[in-house]
Structure 1
């Protein structure tokens, strides 16, 4: 008779809703129940008040076969692992907090981590997939992985891992082992192969300067615990180094990458004071990149850096075609560099048109270049800077999500320093705007109704101010209004002005800065509020103003086309309901 079935039949009636009884009656836990019986822990778990972190059958099956069979054949080791999943007293989900550590029955502690951005909770890195299965003598939380007790703190594990022996020797040389024994740390640990990839000249510079070595090593350490379930794409994490420099994570179906090329090769190595992720490249803070990597290899000119980065082959080809290499190499410049993916995202006709028109191509490329070195730290929201084509580009900094745009294109990497300037990487190509908001509205046929109403209200000059966002109703949007409403608007200049200005926000809001349930004050007399709703289908303004075309750049802001006219709440009754 199967042990789980035996417990269902024999133990269940005797003990009712005890923790082991609940597990025995749930087919997801047959492996766990069998092992609890094998370890002789049934009476222990039934005679106290406990919290059990219960791995499913799938969790046990995910263990290496040798590990699982080893536990089954070694009662002491099995008991130790099972007790590591049990905590005295009842710990409900509501009692857990991020970085909370609790002693288990095997004497070691487990750590809770709560990741608010995706609502995931882990215990020692294993995700809790079901909470608060309450029993008469405790509570059960269901795990998607088995927790194996760590064999020491971060330094201990590094010392026991042959693949990071170079890291260990450098940690000892820098004298920072004690810092790595602090609590709640994440270490992105370069393997021996990662260090072997560094040029010998770089290794010599690092190992001959203890301060520099310390900075580089601490740049691999995050002062809180980040297991894989908590990582997300384009996450920025501050590190332990002196300047608390930022690393950026990139996650996709292939795994996790740190900064440009630090691929995680083994994740979630648990320790008593945090977690280790092995990576295949050494991470270098941007402020040291020129000194350590670019200088020795490439001579550090901006075009050289772009040439040696496979993400910019299209950009480099176009720079050569436009005859701009010497220009960019003989001055100090900031280059906003679109990636290959950014160029590929252009309409094919636009890209081929640029390739076949050197003057147009030169104009677009010069629009991505600014004289002097503009570091990220020098940028500010709504800062405009003249480019080499004579037009200005606008910085926007959105503090709520740490995104920065230049003329609406998101900067996905900052401060690639060269000997003659700096490069910021863009996810879109910037096309020079053909005028201000009024000019663009005038040139756009499907907002001709809006143009005529702006002219009637006499507010064109207001729309030529700086740093504006216009949610511009299309002709179809105005056509949706009842004729009685249109007549009221067109016969009352004051009311018309209010309605039109309700579509204008007095600062620049490109798509990367918009977020769900954002409230934006408008330019109308009362500074009425519009509310944004964002989801996978796009952006909606107020109740039904869907954005049909976003990010139409202008010299003084941005236009988003919408499919409904927006009406302030204070006029809603008069204009729309009153007609009935």
Structure 2
């Protein structure tokens, strides 16, 4: 009996030395070797991390494949190899069934967490790297294999803005604007968020006065920044070609993925993908999103037009001569008179209601909860109004549920758009999110989506302007 116990004890000691428990399971390093993860194991051993994880755990390892190391991407301010390897190891045992979207796991790298995401295309990621094989169980933990290295290692307090601040001077302009907008603290602490971060070259492509104008209008500046921030953590594996993502501003951005894997948001190419931050991710881009729309918000009365450097407008009428001095003031000459004078209240709803030919359109807008927008004097709005004759012709179409609900928003635009301020070819976004194409010939005639023309234009109201259009968008 004593002899049997001695043999059993000796066998247990042998198994322990070789990394196996009495149940025959290998430890994490042994298992990684069995799985063919030699590149990962080599780096663990070189960093002396293998001794750490051979102690009683439990640990969850997100181990890159050998091919992942061959194709490893380089990020600015590269972290030491030991830090990168510690970042791949989470505390506790997490199986595939336990993973939830935006779940975070404490890593062995101090003050850094591993963010797990599940996407609608079925992909599951760890810090943006696709988990390709799951639930390889060891004595003291579990291994999941990932197809890329977590090379983007954020600082202890690294956020979607502070990470760029620390490592990427090529984003100094947009970071300066975020500070001017007093949004830095929010983007630094809230999340999860994805920042589509334009580089300095994106701003250099714009009119030199663009940044000056933004800084003078904090509302426009904040709207501009919000148009580059997405809710949630969107790494490239979770994106699909042609999908639309919605920013905090409310506008839709189209994702394009080329055959070579290169990504773009609208026309902005991604120059540095999948930068990991403590509160989300950064996709660095080479252009700003919707530049025309943002510029218009801050160029309400100053426009480029027909070869002139600028056109100055007063209630949509071009100022022909500026700054004629008088003894008690200044006189400006207009090319045309202000022939439409709004009433005391003078909101869009008030002025349209006073014109009989728009009665059905007004009622339609009220029925679809647009009344508050048309009387809101804190925000400027442009409206494309439809007369009763056209409304009657389109009644059958308007009764269709999809068209019925969409039409009211297709005819409403944020900010004030006078015809003199429209480019010869441009795009504006309706409140529905639909992008409307505008064309204007040399005579100043305006068309929308190359189908509908203006019957009458530039009716100034207290809270914006309306035009009469000959079709329903």
TM-score band, normalised by shorter chain: 0.5 to 0.7
Deviations 1:396-415, CA, capped at 9 Å, x for gaps: 849xxxxxx9xxxxx99623
Among 274, 277, 281, the alignment partner of 2:283 is 277
- Partner of 1:132 in structure 2? 135
Q: SS at the partner of 1:234?
A: coil
Alpha-carbon shift at residue 114 of structure 1 (Å):
0.7
In structure 2, C-alpha distance between the alignment counterparts of 1:62 and 1:185, rounded to whole Å? 27
- Partner of 2:63 in structure 1? 54
Gaps of 5+ in 2: 1-16, 308-381, 404-409, 411-431, 452-473
2:154 counterpart of 1:150: yes
RMSD of equivalent CA atoms: 3.9
- Partner of 2:197 in structure 1? 189
Check 1:202–1:417 CA distance in 2 against 1; reply closer, same or farther (3 A cut).
farther
In structure 1, C-alpha distance between the alignment counterparts of 2:402 and 2:292, rounded to whole Å? 20
Among 72, 80, 85, the alignment partner of 2:83 is 80
Among 25, 29, 32, the alignment partner of 2:34 is 25
CA contact (8 A) 1:221 1:239 kept: yes
2:113 counterpart of 1:109: yes
Q: SS at the partner of 1:178?
A: helix
Check 1:17–1:265 CA distance in 2 against 1; reply closer, same or farther (3 A cut).
same
Alpha-carbon shift at residue 157 of structure 1 (Å):
1.6
In structure 2, C-alpha distance between the alignment counterparts of 1:121 and 1:237, rounded to whole Å? 19
Check 1:32–1:253 CA distance in 2 against 1; reply closer, same or farther (3 A cut).
same
1:289-328 to 2 correspondences below 5 Å: 290-291=296-297, 296-297=303-304
2:259 counterpart of 1:215: no
Q: SS at the partner of 2:237?
A: helix
Alpha-carbon shift at residue 215 of structure 1 (Å):
0.6
Deviations 1:486-537, CA, capped at 9 Å, x for gaps: xxxxxxxxxxxxxxxxxxxxxxxxxxxxxxxxxxxxxxxxxxxxxxxxxxxx
Among 258, 274, 288, the alignment partner of 1:252 is 258
* Mean CA deviation greater in 284-293 or 206-215: 284-293
Higher RCO (Cα < 8 Å, 6 or more apart): 2
Q: SS at the partner of 1:154?
A: coil
CA contact (8 A) 2:252 2:433 kept: no
Q: SS at the partner of 1:172?
A: helix
In structure 2, C-alpha distance between the alignment counterparts of 1:153 and 1:24, rounded to whole Å? 35
Q: SS at the partner of 2:184?
A: coil
Q: SS at the partner of 2:161?
A: helix
Among 180, 183, 204, the alignment partner of 2:187 is 180
Alpha-carbon shift at residue 196 of structure 1 (Å):
0.8
Among 397, 411, 435, the alignment partner of 1:414 is 435
In structure 2, C-alpha distance between the alignment counterparts of 1:384 and 1:34, rounded to whole Å? 76
Deviations 1:158-205, CA, capped at 9 Å, x for gaps: 212111111111111111101211121101111101011111243332
In structure 2, C-alpha distance between the alignment counterparts of 1:278 and 1:219, rounded to whole Å? 14
In structure 2, C-alpha distance between the alignment counterparts of 1:280 and 1:143, rounded to whole Å? 29
- Partner of 1:231 in structure 2? 239
Alpha-carbon shift at residue 119 of structure 1 (Å):
0.3
1:407-486 to 2 correspondences below 5 Å: 414-416=435-437, 423-424=448-449
- Partner of 1:96 in structure 2? 99
In structure 2, C-alpha distance between the alignment counterparts of 1:392 and 1:43, rounded to whole Å? 72
Alpha-carbon shift at residue 285 of structure 1 (Å):
7.5
2:44 counterpart of 1:36: yes
Check 1:41–1:265 CA distance in 2 against 1; reply closer, same or farther (3 A cut).
closer
Check 1:65–1:112 CA distance in 2 against 1; reply closer, same or farther (3 A cut).
closer
In structure 2, C-alpha distance between the alignment counterparts of 1:81 and 1:190, rounded to whole Å? 27
CA contact (8 A) 1:385 1:394 kept: no
Among 252, 272, 276, the alignment partner of 1:266 is 272
Alpha-carbon shift at residue 38 of structure 1 (Å):
1.8
Aligned length in residues? 316
In structure 1, C-alpha distance between the alignment counterparts of 2:41 and 2:245, rounded to whole Å? 40
Check 1:287–1:196 CA distance in 2 against 1; reply closer, same or farther (3 A cut).
closer
Q: SS at the partner of 1:82?
A: helix
Alpha-carbon shift at residue 100 of structure 1 (Å):
0.8
Gaps of 5+ in 1: 1-9, 72-76, 301-371, 399-404, 406-410, 427-580
In structure 1, C-alpha distance between the alignment counterparts of 2:393 and 2:264, rounded to whole Å? 33
Among 154, 163, 186, the alignment partner of 2:170 is 163
Quick check: which one's helix share is greater?
Answer: 1
In structure 2, C-alpha distance between the alignment counterparts of 1:245 and 1:230, rounded to whole Å? 20
Q: SS at the partner of 1:200?
A: coil
Q: SS at the partner of 1:186?
A: strand
1:528-567 to 2 correspondences below 5 Å: none
Q: SS at the partner of 1:189?
A: strand
In structure 1, C-alpha distance between the alignment counterparts of 2:102 and 2:392, rounded to whole Å? 43
Task: Give the TM-score normalised by the residue count of structure 1.
Answer: 0.48
